[in-house]
Amino acid sequence: MKGMYISKFAQYLDILEQTSKRLEITEILKNMLKEMEKAETDKGIFLSLGYLRAQFNSLQFNIAEKMMVKILANAFNESEEKINKLYGEEGDLGNVAFKVNPNEKPSKTTILEVHKKLEELATISGTGSQEKKIQKASQILALEDKLTSKFLTRIILSTVRLGFTELTVIDALAKLIFENVTNAPKEKSSTKHNLSAKELKIKIEAKYRIRPDIGTIAKVIKENGLEGIDYISMEVGVPVHAQKAQRLADPQEIIEKLGSVWAEYKFDGTRVQLHLDRSRKMPGLETNQQDLFESRNTLPFVKTFTRNLEETTHQFPDLVEAANKQIDAQSVILDGEAIGYNKKTGDYLPFQETMQRKRKHGIKEAVVETPLKYLIFDILYLNGKTLVDLPLVERRIILDKIIKGNETLEIDYHMETKDVKRLIKFSKEALDRGLEGIMAKKPDSFYEAGARNFTWVKLKKSQEQILGDTIDCVVLGYYFGRGVRANFGIGGFLVGIWDKRDQKYKTITKVGTGLKDEEWEKLKEMVDKVKIKEKTKNADISSKYDCDVWANPEIVVEIAADEISKSSEHSAGFALRFPRLIKFREDKSATDTTTPEEFEQMYRLQKKPIVKIDESLVES
């Protein structure tokens, strides 16, 4: 067979849409994976998640609703008025496609053929590209039956949202191997294993953390079964999930829990993972940014990524140039924090100012006005070898050898101690210097990609907050509000956290304060872009908190509060007292919110004073 027909694939998406039960979703995905041909597995998985390529390498259609109205009108010979009217009734252009497409007969197009056409559609650029996109997209849709055109419309609009994530695909892959139904040749040793589905899942997830490309992982497993997992490795240019930190309330507890630690300053900049490969040339960027790199023709391959795996190379032309000058290695992957500093005083700048680099324009000016330091605290890969399984101490020795000088790139200072007093003094110094706090790391620990455990611990202090730390939450919807706010069309919003165990978002609070007028406007605009007709399937939301406008869970915000209390009404089991917005966390993804375990821990910690800096203990 030449591959799965796109119509069959759409039927799978249809049944996936009809359930919100995790086990059922996993079972359906497993069956879909089983039925797919090896060669199409990666593309099929990407499409089921609503994108074309692994997200770090993403390719956007840049087709908004207005344009889709034209596309549907063109594809199915209807007037734009009619499409708009139906859109008003349905609230979803995929459903509109289903309604206006009269074609019941499935085509013989395969997943791979459609994927190719969709890639062509997404890469149309230059003059007249709008018109060309309308033509191409209508041709793609007009060929297909009702159900297929419904899902293709949603794929093009990036609104697939079937309520499962890459982690559910990992569960399905584990099940597939467990049931021994991959296409791997029977004689391969991998088909004989005695791992449980859970153990298999852990194994696959570990690989996903160093290579967040679920399509490729699925394909390799389809081709080689369990053995395929061994072929998955770190690669320069493919971001690695960043290690994260646990939190503890005071230095004493840190030493009790970790023993001797490496203490580092915690800078409030932005996480940067830097990849360099001298055997390749600097790849092309979007055309309007070519001039950022004056010596681009002589530059090696350098890419930077956020902790959210998004590429940010265009924000850091200065880091790219500095990496070329200061790194003495053929290929590396580094981890660190980039932070802006004041040219005159040398002081580090607040997070928001460093983040000016996020803007699309004016990067060249920002490089001059707000220079950056890249404080490197780890090395994950060197000259073809993965270093994550070496202890931190050894990784740092290697890092010391390859970083030359301390201009833009600088190795992060650390201090080793098992003495509580010294740690207190160090954290006091950090706060005096206006830094966020300190990080304490276990010197003999491996780099645990994507993990948040007690090998890295953060200790922060925030004077004005009664809770020791803020909470990262995802916006689930908003309320129109009353009084003055009603003029904005938004007066409050509902937030939740991601519960990995149930693969569901759980609500924790409504927020109605802490936003400046322009932030209310920004939030409304952001939610309106990702609004959905009904509450998202993968969330537990009591009807008491029903929103006026529901959001697809993708906007992450940082919230401060006075207290965490137990709650029987919020599905997270906790609620916040006096919640207020601190900032938008555009560097975080929706499943990267504060975890239920952290919440539990913060609930317990709040009973203690925040950072206990007992002055009498600090030797001057």
Give the interface with ligand ATP as residue ranges (CB under 6 A): 244-245, 264, 266-267, 271, 307, 337, 377, 412, 439, 458, 472
Q: What is the CA radius of gyration of the chain?
A: 25
Q: Which amino acid is at 344?
A: K
Distance CA 237, CA 309 (A): 11
Least gap, CB of 245 to ligand ATP (angstroms): 4
CB nearer to ligand ATP: give 307 or 442.
307
CB nearer to ligand ATP: give 244 or 428.
244
CB nearer to ligand ATP: give 151 or 374.
374
Least gap, CB of 198 to ligand ATP (angstroms): 26
CB nearer to ligand ATP: give 307 or 506.
307
Q: What is the DSSP letter of 107?
A: -
Residue 263 has φ and ψ, to the nearest 5°, of -100, 135
Residue 279 has φ and ψ, to the nearest 5°, of -85, -5
CB nearer to ligand ATP: give 337 or 499.
337
Angle between helices 146-157 and 111-123 (to 10 degrees): 40
CB nearer to ligand ATP: give 157 or 439.
439
Least gap, CB of 556 to ligand ATP (angstroms): 10
Angle of CA points 486, 581, 498, to nearest 5°: 105
List beta partners, residue 557.
473, 584
Least gap, CB of 272 to ligand ATP (angstroms): 8
CA neighbours closer than 13 Å in the CB half-sphere of residue 390: 16
Least gap, CB of 565 to ligand ATP (angstroms): 22
Query: Tokens 């890295």 appear where?
Result: 456
Closest-approach residue to ligand ATP (CB): 244
Summarize the chain as % helix, strand, coil (round to 5): 45, 20, 35
What six digits make up the tokens of 448? Answer: 């645990």
Is 266 known to be catalytic? yes
Distance CA 380, CA 382 (A): 7
Task: Identify whether the C-beta of residue 356 lies closer than 8 Å to the C-beta of residue 366.
Answer: yes
Which of 117, 266, 303, 588 is the catalytic position? 266
CB nearer to ligand ATP: give 422 or 458.
458
Write out the DSSP string of 281-294: EPPP--GGGGGG-T
Angle between helices 166-178 and 22-35 (to 10 degrees): 60
Least gap, CB of 38 to ligand ATP (angstroms): 37
Distance CA 86, CA 141 (A): 17
Least gap, CB of 337 to ligand ATP (angstroms): 4
Catalytic residues: 266
